[in-house]
């Protein structure tokens, strides 16, 4: 069992990683909790015992259920079961469940404690850690939300045994990202250690920039660093009908960010090769899916919420990772064309 602290001032909390750690739930609930609302999904075969009376509420599956209506329904359930400010929510699921359950906890009675039990790899290394919660609007993803740090996070790697193949791949894409954020060699680590190391890297970034303050650069420890590989990934998720899971798109986005950094003479070919090796090592595609329209991708990347004049990428270089904005779209377009999307 590995414990990682997320050092966010008086809201600091522990992330526990290991097989069977969901059984620690009664120990990590804040003192005085008398009742617990468990938020989960139908198809998640994970039982938790809070050690106090609890009721479970099921969310629908997928992004289309990640709505304010789901939050309203949850809060009504909480009210009907008589949940008070000194009780707690426990979110048991992937990023969808921890985002929605966390946001409901952030707003119910102006904020009650939440413990996350992430059940996907992506949830463990990314979504459940760092305090971002929220839901989608018809106008876009994650447009409504709150920063609400959990009281604890239990990453029980035993529950990954039932995780579908595609969801493993999606988690691996985010995991691949962490290989490049620090100098660590994650490749040789067993799964539990690797999950814990990814959590520790995210925790360090989050601690330096808990609320993603505008105007900070990743070289100053900014949270935007966590978007490495994501500029193209977000465009790939929208463009065409390629049905890429988020992490699968991130894998391709990481390779693209390296290729772009090379075009801009920030890194050499060996470092690009290293990106390809790490991403391929997780069984993920490193090439752009066939038949993509480079102009469409450029336009989508221009609309990315982090773009303020020119295109914005987190890029590798001699000084490490940096948030680079104002990148000439023609340079990005030429790199896309070189990789098969003219
Ligand atoms: N808050 C953040 O910082 C943050 C970071 C990254 C992603 N996210 C959000 O996370 C969401 C994606 O999360 P995700 O990739 O975990 O997807 P998800 O939560 O939709 O889960 C994927 C699928 O796996 C199923 N599942 C989950 N655990 C399982 C298990 N142990 N066994 C069998 N099936 C299981 C789920 O029911 C679902 O069908 C997105 O909404 C994204 O916006 C948030
Ligand atoms: Zn991501």
**Could you tell me the pTM of the whole model?**
0.96
Give the position of tokens 């270089």: 317
Considering every ligand atom, which ligand is closest to the CA of 174? 2
Give the position of tokens 């996070």: 153
- Listed as own residue / partner, the contacts of 190-196 with beta carbons closer than 8 Å and 24 or more positions apart are 191/157, 192/2, 192/17, 192/18, 192/19, 192/157, 193/2, 195/17, 195/121, 195/124, 195/125, 195/155, 195/157, 196/2, 196/4, 196/15, 196/17, 196/155
Q: What's the CA-to-centroid distance between 261 and ligand 1, angstroms?
A: 30
Which pLDDT score, from 0 to 100, does residue 221 have? 55
Q: Is 246 a catalytic residue?
A: yes
Considering every ligand atom, which ligand is closest to the CA of 126? 1
Q: What's the CA-to-centroid distance between 329 and ligand 1, angstroms?
A: 32
C-alpha closest to that of 316 among 181, 209, 212, 165: 181
Which pLDDT score, from 0 to 100, does residue 242 have? 73
Through-space distance between the first and last CA atoms of the chain, rounded to whole angstroms? 49
Q: Is 174 a catalytic residue?
A: yes
Which pLDDT score, from 0 to 100, does residue 144 have? 98
User: Could you count the other beta carbons within 10 Å of the beta carbon of residue 291?
Assistant: 10
Question: Is the Cβ–Cβ distance between 259 and 304 less than 8 Å?
Answer: no
Q: Is 306 a catalytic residue?
A: no
Number of H helices, E strands in the chain: 11, 11
Ranges in the chain, pLDDT < 50: 307
> How big is the CA angle at 32 (ends 27 and 38), to the nearest 5 degrees?
65
Q: Is 202 a catalytic residue?
A: yes
Which H or E element spans position 41? Answer: strand 36-41
Q: What's the CA-to-centroid distance between 17 and ligand 2, angstroms?
A: 20
Question: Which ligand 1 atom lies nearest to the CA of residue 162?
Answer: 32
In sequence order, the 6+-apart residues with CB closer than 8 A to the CB of 60 are 41, 70
Which pLDDT score, from 0 to 100, does residue 70 have? 98
Of 100, 127, 137, best ligand 1 pocket probe by most atoms within 8 Å of the beta carbon: 127
- From the list 22, 197, 234, 245, the catalytic residue is 234
């Amino acid at each position: 069992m590995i414990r990682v602290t997320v050092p966010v001032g008086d809201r600091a909390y522990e992330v526990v990683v290991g097989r069977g750690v969901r059984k620690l739930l009664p120990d990590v609930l804040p003192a005085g909790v008398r009742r617990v609302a468990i938020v989960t999904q139908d198809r998640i075969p994970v039982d938790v015992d809070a050690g106090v009376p609890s009721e479970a509420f099921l969310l629908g599956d997928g992004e289309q259920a990640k709505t304010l209506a789901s939050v309203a329904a949850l809060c009504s359930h909480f009210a009907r079961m008589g949940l008070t400010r000194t009780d707690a929510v426990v979110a048991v699921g992937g990023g969808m469940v921890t985002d929605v359950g966390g946001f409901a906890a952030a707003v119910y009675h102006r904020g009650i404690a939440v413990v996350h039990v992430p059940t996907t790899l992506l949830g463990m290394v990314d979504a459940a850690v760092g305090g971002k919660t929220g839901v989608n609007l018809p106008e876009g993803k994650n447009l409504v939300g709150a920063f609400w740090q959990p009281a604890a996070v239990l990453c029980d790697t035993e529950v990954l045994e039932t995780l579908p193949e595609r969801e493993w791949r999606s988690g691996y894409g985010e995991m691949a990202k962490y290989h490049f954020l620090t100098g660590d060699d994650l490749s040789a680590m067993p799964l539990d250690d690797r999950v814990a190391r990814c959590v520790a890297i995210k925790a360090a970034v989050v601690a330096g920039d808990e609320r993603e303050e505008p105007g900070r650069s990743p070289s100053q420890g900014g949270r935007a660093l966590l978007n490495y590989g994501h500029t193209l990934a977000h465009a790939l998720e929208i463009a065409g009908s390629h049905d890429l899971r988020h992490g699968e798109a991130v894998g391709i986005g990481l390779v693209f960010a390296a290729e772009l950094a090379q075009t801009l003479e920030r890194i050499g070919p060996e470092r690009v090769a290293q990106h390809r090796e790490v991403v391929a090592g997780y069984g993920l595609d490193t090439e752009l899916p066939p038949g993509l329209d480079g102009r469409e991708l450029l336009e989508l990347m221009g609309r990315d919420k982090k773009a303020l004049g020119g295109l914005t990428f987190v890029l590798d270089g001699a000084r490490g990772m940096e948030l680079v904005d104002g990148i000439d779209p023609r340079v990005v377009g030429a790199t896309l064309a070189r990789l098969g999307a003219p």
